[in-house]
């Protein structure tokens, strides 16, 4: 007897309800060509063969592959078995029902599965033969982060918050000043048909190895750099000089979908963006991939260009302000009326206990981190406590919200050439030890 031939495959849309993916446009078309599921959670498949399935002698194997070259981390396989027990760290396929030549089974993916577009094939053979038949599924599978799963590193316990930070596709981004702040409606549109393909293109252009795409820390850090165009030919070109004639003004954008659609079609950066546009696109990408995300607006936002944890202004002996920083002539500190970035939610197994949860990332290209224009993820707990040694870029985000404003006057007698005139501390979050740490770091940076 020959190996089984596949006659029909059915993957029900009911899977999308259990996986909270029913809003994606790709699963709401007549001829379903794409299934979107979340890792670490079973989904149901029905297969009809051309002859009855012999449970004792027929072997049916599922093989999932991510990318062109299969490795241990980018390929998963499982034989369909009736007594299979799902394991959060393994691929499995459990037979749930058998009706002559029709198999009903559930597929479970590891909770650490790299996110992306996976292909699936079914390999059949008899136990007493090496002859195989291969059926390639017509549907591709997007496997996403699963913040509903307690074992997932993006897990968020409060499902009401997940309705907002993953499933809500419209929000407000606050801009202006702290006295005249206004909330502008932004359409994130993470369920639009163009968004997930754009996300896959972005991850590829950011050169994230497939095996690292299951780590939300690495993915979020890459998103913070690929949404700007400074390093990898990312999504948006930042511009602040008011010259937007050869593109679209940052003030004209009202959502992310048109930006990502243009980027995907042209394979080139889109003109132009500023902080709230970068943050809006980041929210779209993170929510589409399953990372809980929110937009953060900071009014009277400091920009510390030399990691001193202070905003420094320099003056002549007669107190005329210099237009540059003598210790950093090309990158002077400044204070903006507002700045917008993102928080993303995830565990931080790379850090000591207590630093998981919300993490700040910023896609606006301001200062290089590890040689690239990326920022974060920086644990909010580390920012609050002033723990500047924690990855990534805690001191930069800390300066944005809590830097001291210092004025320096030229002083030939001073070792550094300038002496402090006064210091304005807008707000202090520090205890004694943290304040000493900040002063120590500031002194070291000045000496350098």
Residues assigned a catalytic role: 275, 339, 362
**Bridge partner residues of 174 (DSSP):** 183
Closest C-alpha to 296, from 394, 166, 393, 174: 174
Phi, psi of 29 (to 5 degrees): -115, 160
Distances (CA, A) of 37 to 40, 105, 212, 309: 9, 15, 19, 43
Task: Evaluate the CA torsion angle 329, 335, 340, 344 in order and state its sign.
Answer: positive
- Whether 375 and 278 have beta carbons less than 8 Å apart is answered as no
Distance CA 81, CA 92 (A): 9
| Apex 72 CA angle, 285 and 344, nearest 5 | 25
Q: Which two tokens stand for residue 122?
A: 């079914």
- Whether 313 and 406 have beta carbons less than 8 Å apart is answered as yes
* Cβ-based neighbour number of residue 446 at 10 Å: 17
**Bridge partner residues of 260 (DSSP):** none
263: enclosing H helix or E strand:
helix 257-266
205: enclosing H helix or E strand:
helix 195-205
């Amino acid at each position: 007897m020959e190996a089984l031939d596949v006659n029909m495959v059915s993957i029900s849309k009911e899977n999308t309800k259990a996986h909270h993916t029913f809003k994606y446009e790709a699963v709401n078309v007549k001829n379903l060509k794409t299934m979107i599921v979340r890792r670490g959670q079973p989904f149901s498949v029905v297969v009809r063969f051309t002859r009855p399935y012999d449970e004792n002698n027929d072997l049916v194997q599922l093989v999932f592959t991510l990318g062109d070259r299969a490795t241990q981390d980018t390929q998963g396989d499982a034989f369909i078995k009736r007594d299979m027990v799902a394991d959060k760290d393994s691929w499995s396929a459990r037979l749930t029902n058998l009706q002559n030549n029709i198999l009903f089974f559930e597929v479970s993916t590891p909770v650490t599965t790299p996110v992306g577009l996976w292909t699936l094939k079914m390999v059949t053979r008899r136990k007493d033969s090496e002859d195989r038949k291969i059926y390639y599924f017509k549907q591709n599978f997007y496997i996403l982060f699963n913040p509903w799963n307690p074992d997932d590193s993006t897990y968020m316990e409060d499902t009401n918050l997940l309705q907002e930070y993953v499933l809500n596709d419209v929000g407000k981004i606050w801009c202006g000043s702290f006295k005249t702040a206004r909330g502008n409606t932004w359409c994130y549109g993470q369920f639009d048909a163009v968004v997930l393909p754009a996300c896959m293109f972005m991850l590829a252009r950011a050169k994230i190895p497939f095996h690292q795409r299951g780590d939300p820390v690495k993915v979020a850090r890459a998103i913070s750099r690929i949404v700007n165009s400074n390093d990898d030919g990312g999504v948006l070109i930042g511009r602040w000089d008011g010259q937007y004639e050869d593109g679209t003004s940052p003030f004209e954008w009202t959502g992310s979908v048109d930006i990502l659609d243009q980027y995907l079609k042209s394979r080139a950066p889109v003109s132009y963006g500023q902080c709230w546009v970068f943050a809006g696109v980041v929210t779209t990408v993170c929510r589409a991939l399953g990372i809980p995300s929110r937009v953060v607006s900071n009014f009277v936002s400091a920009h510390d260009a030399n990691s001193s944890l202070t905003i420094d202004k320099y003056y002549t002996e007669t107190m005329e302000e210099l237009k540059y920083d003598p210790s950093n002539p090309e990158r002077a500190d400044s204070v903006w009326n507002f700045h917008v970035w993102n928080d993303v939610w995830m565990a931080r197994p790379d850090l000591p206990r207590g630093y998981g949860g919300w993490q700040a990332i910023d896609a606006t290209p301001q200062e290089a981190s590890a040689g690239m224009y990326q920022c974060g993820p920086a644990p909010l707990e580390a920012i609050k406590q002033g723990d500047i040694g924690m990855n990534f870029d805690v001191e930069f985000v800390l300066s944005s919200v809590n830097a001291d404003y210092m004025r320096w006057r030229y002083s030939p007698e001073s070792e550094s050439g300038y002496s402090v005139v006064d210091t304005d501390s807008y707000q202090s979050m520090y205890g004694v030890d943290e304040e000493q740490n900040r002063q120590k770091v500031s002194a070291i940076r000045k000496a350098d």
